[in-house]
Structure 1
Amino acid sequence: MRVMAAELLKIRRKMIWFLVVLGPLGVVGLQAVNFGLRYDYLTKQYANDLWGGLINNVTMMMVPTLFMGLAILASMTAGIEHQTNAWKQTLALPITRTQVFTGKFLLSVLLLFCSSTLLIVGTVGLGAALGFDLGDVPYKHLLELIYYPYLAIMPFIALQVWLSVLMHNQAIPLTVGIVGTVFSMFSNRFDDWMPYKWPYLDNAADNPLFSVAAGVVTGIVVLAAGTLNFVRKDVK
């Protein structure tokens, strides 16, 4: 908790919180334009399930945004120490390297959770603005389609934190994140073992929980590997 409090204090006056809001705001804004320009067509197409149509359109854009957002957030949170050459001071504190690395990971997890939650609020708000009946909101379906991809993307949060913490040049982790974002859009062509496919909740069993479980378990493995590497490696 002390490590997390310190990490949150570091980003208090940074642009990071703006990006946390910008991601869901951008997704909702683009769907507002989409439905605003094609309102009659889309409401006719989704006449039997207006909320379902809106939610599916939102979540279709959410996953690439998550991939891009986690790369940027991990880079910015790790970049605080890199830019000020403060790793030696941070590692000199009475906390373990494991706590330092886990704190960076949990900070990214927390920030993406905030973004995902804001996306839920924004989706409901957009539906209300479009005149959809708030009494018909499928909250269970909405929560699943927002939080399941968030959980399934855990391996990539751990990977980007790992790369961002170890590399002073943040161009490399960001490049990995950008390439991964583009690659993920074509991941449905691969079998279920492909991690980039998991956040889209698409698998042969047609059960999103399989993708979630694979993401969480692999995320723990990648986090453990990154922590072990960080503990043993000198970070300047």
Structure 2
Amino acid sequence: MNLVFRGIRAEGLKLKNTLALRMAVIAPGLVVALMSLQLMVMDHSKRSPAPMEAAWLTYAEGVIGLWTFLMLPLYITLQASLLAGLEHQNRQWKYLLALPVPRHSHFTSKALVLMLMVLLATLSLILLIPFGGWLLGAVQPNSGLAGWPPLWAIAKPALATVPACLLMAMVQTWVALRWSSFTVAVSIGMSATVAGFLIGQSERFGHWYPWSMPLWTMAGDARFLPLVLASSLGLGLLALALGAWLFSRRDPES
């Protein structure tokens, strides 16, 4: 366990002043900006302002929905590829895998750092929602967005998507580390995201598909929520163990 903590600390040092770290703010900021701009150009003059809390929850639901449906899977794909790229460049794996430490610790550290990046982006999204809402309320007073938003009511569905990402993140981590090509890792992640647009709408299969699990925790039937979270956590931990085992058998030359 100490080796994993050291690995996470080492990954943190590598991430300083990198695009991967900045994306934890850029990606959620882009979602908030897009949702706010869309609502700004709508005509709110023909309706009376909604109650403040209801207006905030509706706005937040739209932002979090766009985040989980589209941006989050792409964010995980990009972050996994960028984290792996730190070692794929200049063939650093040959050096790292020759060190006297268990090889599986490298995979585990990368996977856990990816989950920390997901958590950081989710917290950024929660903190950016009030700013987007206040700006929207200033431009469109009839939107009802004024005062202090119900942060905990906003944060709960957003935070629930984090554990639901575990299985997706483990699969994408293994893909990004297995193939040195950035194009291969991104193509697989984007293809899986596009497939999630269709599979995620299925009541039979949507809550089993890794790329649509976060959406089901936020917008799916509430009766599926415990199943989705348990499946993502259980299968995600299994995927972490399997990925670490496969990575430990990796040829340093590959």
TM value normalised by structure 2 = 0.84
Matched, 1:35 2:35: no
Q: C-alpha distance in 2, partners of 1:82/1:219?
A: 24
Pair 21,232 (structure 1): closer, same or farther in 2 beyond 3 Å: same
Q: C-alpha distance in 2, partners of 1:230/1:188?
A: 34
Which of these residues, 159, 163, 172, is aligned with residue 175 of structure 2?
Answer: 163
Q: Which residue of 2 aligns with 1:109?
A: 115
- Where do residues 168-183 of structure 1 align in structure 2 (5 Å cutoff)? 168-183=180-195
Q: Which residue of 1 aligns with 2:77?
A: 71
Q: Which residue of 1 aligns with 2:251?
A: 234
Q: C-alpha distance in 2, partners of 1:66/1:147?
A: 13
Contact in 2 for aligned 1:203/1:211 (Cα 8 Å): no
Q: C-alpha distance in 1, partners of 2:247/2:43?
A: 51
Q: C-alpha distance in 1, partners of 2:43/2:84?
A: 43
Q: C-alpha distance in 1, partners of 2:131/2:46?
A: 18
Contact in 1 for aligned 2:208/2:228 (Cα 8 Å): no
The farther-off stretch of 158-167 and 177-186 is 177-186
Which of these residues, 58, 63, 86, is aligned with residue 63 of structure 2?
Answer: 58
Point out where structure 2 has 5 or more consecutive residues left out of the alignment.
138-144
Q: C-alpha distance in 1, partners of 2:165/2:45?
A: 33
- Letter paired with 2:60: I
- Where do residues 1-236 of structure 1 align in structure 2 (5 Å cutoff)? 1-38=5-42, 40=44, 44=48, 47=51, 49-63=54-68, 64-131=70-137, 132-135=145-148, 137-186=149-198, 187-191=200-204, 192-200=207-215, 201=217, 203=220, 206-235=223-252, 236=254
Over residues 155-201 of structure 1, what are the superposed CA-to-partner deviations in whole Å (9 max), with x where a residue is unaligned?
A: 11101110111111222221111011112222112514333332112
Pair 190,208 (structure 1): closer, same or farther in 2 beyond 3 Å: closer
Q: C-alpha distance in 2, partners of 1:73/1:43?
A: 42
Q: C-alpha distance in 2, partners of 1:115/1:230?
A: 27
Pair 67,43 (structure 1): closer, same or farther in 2 beyond 3 Å: farther
Identity %: 24
Aligned residues: 235
Give the deviation of 1:210 after TM superposition. Answer: 2.8
Alpha-carbon RMSD across the aligned residues, in angstroms, is: 2.2
Q: C-alpha distance in 2, partners of 1:221/1:95?
A: 22
TM value normalised by structure 1 = 0.90
Give the deviation of 1:129 after TM superposition. Answer: 2.6
Equivalent residue of 1:208, what SS? helix
Over residues 118-146 of structure 1, what are the superposed CA-to-partner deviations in whole Å (9 max), with x where a residue is unaligned?
A: 000011222233332334x2333311221
Q: C-alpha distance in 1, partners of 2:170/2:30?
A: 24
Point out where structure 1 has 5 or more consecutive residues left out of the alignment.
none
